[in-house]
Chain A
Amino acid sequence: MVRKIFSLGGLGLFFLSLILFNFVGSGEAQEAKSFKTLKIGTISPISGPLGVIGLTWGRGFNLCADWLNEQGGIKVGADKYKIQFIHEDSKASPEAAAAAANKLVHQDKVKFVIGDVLNPCSEAIYSVTNPAGVLHVLLYTMDPYREDQWGLGPDNPLLVLHMPTITLSYDSFFKYLNKTYPNVKKLVYGVANYPFTRMIKEAIDTAEANGFKVLGGETLDYGWTDFYPFMTALLKNKPDGIFIIHGGGPDLVAVEIKAARELGFKGPIISFGSASPLLIPTTVGAQNSYDIICNQAFAGAPEATKMMKEVKKRWDAKFPKEVFIDDALMAWDEVWVLAQGIEKANSLDPEVVLKALENMNKPGSLNTTFGPGSMGGLKTLGVNRMLVRPFPVTVVQKGKISMVKWVTPELP
């Protein structure tokens, strides 16, 4: 009798589970029906000497996609799309970047590719994406004015940059340096050994226009760990201040500053690119973290925007063991701006999306983690395809990081 009851009960449970499974299954099917998937390819240096940059950018992309998906996805007509990333490693090599682009475009059939931080890699990606009608979103540009490099312009359709070039921040920083440190007159610069020719020239010209004398500069190579020889060579000029145009990576800039301080340099140090303010006091030490100025944001500062704090909160929740690197904010914007372009275009056609982005050129027509932005560059580059948004003047003083002012550059 007891056995019979158990077997009947078992049968009942079996049917109940079938009903529940059917119910849950239909719910999933319902959700799958209401959301479509938008596959986006990303190519960045996940391995090699720039691995920290690639990993951080990848995390920023994912955090933004999670957020957008939670908000209901990207709306195109009656459809809602959830973002699904396919991340590929460029290994900081154009050959690997081209191979990754080929895979994304021809095998994964993506319509949008985001990448890379190095111009030669981006050029290799573009050689694959453009003929296939895929929109290529750049992560960085080494020569925004195209004096001797490939890049944004009317001759390169289907190419857009969702971050402002660091050259736009030069003038504000040299003015800040002039005002805050009136005794600083002689400067030297450090820059990664890559084709930054125009960016270096622009920095020197802007410094000199602000009354500084630039005594010289030194290059550093990606993959270096010891910056004593580099700093020794820089400091032989007896400068009052140092500016680092591109320090090779957020972790490396901090080591370069550490070397300068340990070698007795007491003047102000400006970092225009690739510094992560949070890494500076932890690497350089609180005692030596003074008079350091950089154009990267610090999402942990009280002056941070609501969205910057949101990104950091999500990072801290998802990667509790990893220090927040502010490159994640720019990575977030790459995706967010693209999503806004797609919604504005109300289409997934890369050409229509690019057109919509180009038309978002009124101040405040785009949202970014740094504040209101827009696309600019028509007069300067021949196309409205570079994101212009505010950037902070971030100062590290006695180990404390603060964003002392916000500057919104102009890119006609």
Chain B
Amino acid sequence: MFGIPIESLVQSLINGIALGWIYILIAMGLSLIFGIMRILQFAHGEVYMLGAYTIYFFSVTHGFSFFTAMLISLVMGLVLGLILERFFFRPLGGELLTTIMVALGLMIILQASVTVGFGVTPKSIPSFAPQPAEILGIMLGRDRLIAVGVSIGMILLLYLFLKKTKYGQALTASAQHPEASLLMGIDPTQMSVIAMAIGSALAAISGGLMGAIFPINPFMGGTALMKGLIIIILGGMGSLLGVVVGGMILGLIDGIAPVLAGPAAAAISPLFIVAIILVVRPQGLFGHE
């Protein structure tokens, strides 16, 4: 196909799927926060970046194992989410403009803090699984495969939490019908706390997984936020299935398009698809009117 060996295409396909699952984690958190709190958390990318730096700090600087550092990063994400909700977003009462301003301010403060603490030069977290994996004669990065496993595990846990637990069901209800859920006695503040904590933890984990694959820098959150927003627009606001499908589309584009059509096409094709979706189906592939 296009003069490219099938082996290269399959490799790119699997690479795209791996990236897609990490993107899904980012977008899932963003979607959860938007669904419950009705705010666009522009500093979500910076939580992702902090997740990566937490892993760097504990694994590279202090010699912890990657997975211990990732656990610390997860807890950091949860705690940061609680702090952000309680001290930055709750006092604003969901007011659109001030919320955007605060999120943008947080973005700058967090970027600047990491720049002061770690410098601007990109840092690297050594691969946690540096040896390649061979599947059907195709070589793949083992750390990417493990990242897929971790991402799928996290998303399954989230799914089980949302479907099988009281708090999860309350969260879903609150996202689908805020007024009705309030009448049913579901505390919206408590839901916001849970959404922000889980969303931030997912961002921190995805930052760590991405940090083991690509170098990290204080400004990496911008790209992550952009990818998260593209996925949500593609999949539809508030739809978990939409996030998974949107993430997979974006991952596949990032994996295959550079091999098939070059980097320029890879960069613009997601935006092109988003533009088409917005015209044809503004609510996204799985969103509701």
Among A128-136, A154-162, A219-227, the one that faces the other chain is A219-227
Q: Is A321 an interface residue (CB 8 A)?
A: yes
> Is there contact, CB below 8 Å, between A263 and B139?
yes
Q: A226-B19, A228-B255 are in contact. Are A233 and B121 (CB under 8 A)?
A: no
Judged by a CB distance under 8 angstroms, whether A264 is at the interface is: yes
Q: Can you list, as one digit per residue, whether each of B219-231 has a CB less than 8 Å from chain A (1) or not (0)?
A: 0000100000000
Of A228, A259, A262, A322, the residue contacting B142 (CB under 8 A) is A262
Is the CB of A194 closer than 8 A to any CB of chain B?
no
Contacts of B19 in A (CB 8 A): 226
* Contact string against B for A residues 250-262, beta-carbon threshold 8 Å, 1 for contact and 0 otherwise: 0100110011011
Q: Give the contacts of A201-258 with B (CB-CB under 8 A).
A: 220-221, 223-226, 228-230, 232-233, 235-236, 251, 254-255, 258
The answer to whether B119 and A226 have CB atoms under 8 Å apart is no
Which positions 300-322 of chain A face chain B at CB distance < 8 Å? 319, 321-322
B161 to chain A minimum Cβ distance, whole angstroms, is 31
A283 and B124 in contact (CB under 8 A), knowing A226-B19, A229-B259, A322-B119?
yes
- Residue from B5, B12, B118, B124 in contact with A228 in the complex, judged by beta carbons closer than 8 Å: B12
- Residue B187 CB within 8 A of the other chain: no
Note all chain A residues with C-beta closer than 8 A to B130: 261-262, 285, 287-288
Q: Is there a chain A Cβ closer than 8 Å to B181's Cβ?
A: no
Docked CA distance A223–B217 (Å):
13
In angstroms, Cα B251 to Cα A229, docked, is 13
Most buried by B among A220, A225, A287, A322: A225
A52 within 8 Å of B by Cβ?
yes
B15 an interface residue at 8 Å Cβ cutoff? yes
Minimal beta-carbon separation of B107 from chain A (angstroms): 17
Residues from chain B with a CB closer than 8 A to the CB of A55 are 120-121
Q: Could you tell me the distance in whole angstroms from the C-beta of B78 to the nearest C-beta in chain A?
A: 27
Across the interface, do A225 and B214 meet the contact criterion of CB distance under 8 Å? yes
Chain A residues 75 to 111 lying within 8 A of chain B, measured CB to CB, are: none
Q: Are B140's CB and A232's CB within 8 A?
A: no
Q: Mark B1-27, 1 if CB is under 8 A from A, else 0.
A: 000110110011001000100000000
A345 in contact (CB, < 8 A): no
C-alpha spacing A193/B267, complex, angstroms: 15
Complex contact A325–B263 (CB within 8 A)? no
Q: Does A11 contact B (CB under 8 A)?
A: no
From A226, A279, A282, B214 is in contact (CB under 8 Å) with A226
Chain A residues positioned under 8 Å from B215 (CB to CB) = 225, 251, 254-255, 283
Contact yes or no, B132 A233, CB < 8 A: no
Q: In the complex, what's the smallest C-beta–C-beta distance from A3 to chain B, in angstroms?
A: 49
Would A321 and B117 count as touching, CB distance under 8 A? Answer: yes
Contact indicator A262/B132 (Cβ below 8 Å): yes
Contact across chains for B141 and A228 when beta carbons are under 8 A apart: yes
Q: Across the interface, do A263 and B259 meet the contact criterion of CB distance under 8 Å?
A: no
Chain B positions within 8 Å of A224 at CB level: 258, 263
Q: Which B residues are CB-close (under 8 A) to A220? A: 263
Q: Does A323 contact B (CB under 8 A)?
A: yes
Evaluate contact between B126 and A321: CB separation under 8 angstroms. no
- The CA-CA distance from A236 to B3 in the complex, in Å, is 11
Interface size class of A (residues with CB under 8 A): 35 or more
Q: Give the residues in chain B near A322, CB-CB below 8 Å.
A: 119-121
- Is B140 touching A263 in the complex (CB atoms < 8 A)? yes
Which residues, 301 to 353 on A, are CB-close (under 8 Å) to B?
Answer: 319, 321-323, 325
Closest to B124 in A: A283
For B122, B131, B139, B141, which residue has the most chain A Cβ atoms within 10 angstroms?
Answer: B122
State how many angstroms separate the Cβ of B123 from the closest Cβ of chain A: 8
Q: Contact mask B136-161 → A, CB, 8 Å, 1/0?
A: 00011111100000000000000000
Contact A233 B4 (CB under 8 A): yes
Write the chain B residue with the least CB distance to A230: B258
User: Is B254 engaged at the interface, CB distance under 8 Å to the other chain?
Assistant: yes
Q: Which residues does chain B contribute within 8 Å of A319, judged by CB atoms? A: 119
Given contacts A262-B130, A264-B132, A288-B130, contact A229 B258 (CB under 8 A): yes
B289 on the interface (CB 8 Å rule)? no
Q: A319 — nearest CB in chain B belongs to which residue?
A: B119
A52:B121 contact, CB within 8 angstroms: yes
Cβ of B141: which chain A residues have Cβ within 8 Å of it?
228, 259, 262-263
Within 8 A of A (CB), among B12-60: 12, 15, 19, 60
Contact A282 B124 (CB under 8 A): yes
| Contact of A279 with B139 in the complex, beta carbons under 8 Å | no
Residues on B with C-beta less than 8 A from A323 are: 119, 121, 123
CA gap between A235 and B140 in the complex, in Å: 12
**Residues of A with C-beta under 8 A to B259:** 229, 232-233
User: Does B127 touch A at the CB level, under 8 Å?
Assistant: yes
Give the residue of A226, A232, A264 whose beta carbon is less than 8 angstroms from that of B8: A232
Question: Which residues of the partner chain B approach A228 to less than 8 Å between Cβ atoms?
Answer: 11-12, 15, 141, 255
Interface 1/0s, chain A 355-392, versus B by CB < 8 A?
Answer: 00000000000000000000000000000000000000
Taking beta carbons and an 8 Å cutoff, which residues of B are in contact with A? 4-5, 7-8, 11-12, 15, 19, 60, 117-124, 126-127, 130-132, 134, 139-144, 213-215, 223, 254-256, 258-259, 263-264
25 CB-based A-B contacts, threshold 8 Å: A52-B121, A223-B263, A224-B258, A228-B12, A229-B256, A232-B259, A233-B4, A235-B139, A236-B5, A236-B7, A251-B122, A254-B215, A258-B127, A262-B130, A262-B132, A263-B11, A263-B141, A282-B123, A285-B127, A287-B131, A288-B127, A321-B117, A321-B118, A322-B120, A323-B121
The 9 A-B pairs at the shortest CB distance, nearest first, are namely: A264-B139, A262-B141, A283-B124, A229-B258, A321-B119, A264-B132, A322-B119, A285-B126, A221-B263
- State the A residues within 8 Å of B (CB): 51-52, 55-56, 193, 220-221, 223-226, 228-230, 232-233, 235-236, 251, 254-255, 258-259, 261-264, 279, 282-283, 285-288, 319, 321-323, 325
Known: A225-B215, A229-B258, A288-B127. 13 other contacts (CB 8 A): A56-B121, A221-B264, A223-B263, A226-B214, A228-B12, A228-B255, A261-B132, A262-B127, A263-B139, A283-B124, A283-B126, A285-B127, A323-B119
